[in-house]
Amino acid sequence: MKQALLVFLGGGLGSVARYWLSLKLNNFENAIPYGTLLANILGSLIIGFILGYSSRTGLLSENQSLLLATGFCGGFTTFSTFAYENHLYIKGGDYFSFLPYMAVTFVLAIGAVFLGMYLSKLV
């Protein structure tokens, strides 16, 4: 039960952080919803760092990893929002927004996980 509460707390904090980014940065007059993109890239960087650091040092407990990686990063990243936004681009025939947004998100998010894992080795 304690572990579920940690995931719940982390997820809530991550969701609020993502909501704030969306309010500040998402503007669909632009080609790309930057708040969603930033949440996905930062979340990927953070989870890569947390899991890399934890596996390398053993300093984070399972509960801390659940709070930060599963909870916070799970609530903060926005794959369902990303998928919906791409659906809107396709439905509207806006392939000039869809293709770069999709490609940039995937490349940067995966690259951010690798960067987070690398950075965790420097600490």
DSSP structure string for 28-81 = TTSSS-HHHHHHHHHHHHHHHHHHHHHHHH--S-HHHHIIIIIIIIHHH--HHH
Q: What torsion, rounded to 10 degrees, do the Cα atoms 50, 56, 61, 65 define? A: 20
Is residue 106 pLDDT above 70, yes or no? Answer: yes
| pLDDT band per the 50, 70, 90 thresholds, residue 30 | low
* pLDDT(21) > 90: yes
Domain ranges, residue 112: 2-122
- For residue 78, report the phi and psi dihedrals to the nearest 5 degrees: -135, 55
Q: What percent of the chain has pLDDT over 90?
A: 88
Among 24-28, 62-66, 90-94, 119-123, where is mean pLDDT lowest?
24-28
| 31 pLDDT above the threshold of 90 | no
Number of folded domains that form the chain:
1
Residue 99 has pLDDT above 70, yes or no: yes
Q: Please give the average per-residue pLDDT across 57-82, as a whole number.
A: 93
Locate 87 and state its tokens: 């659906």
pLDDT for residue 80:
84
Q: According to the model, what pLDDT value does residue 101 have?
A: 94
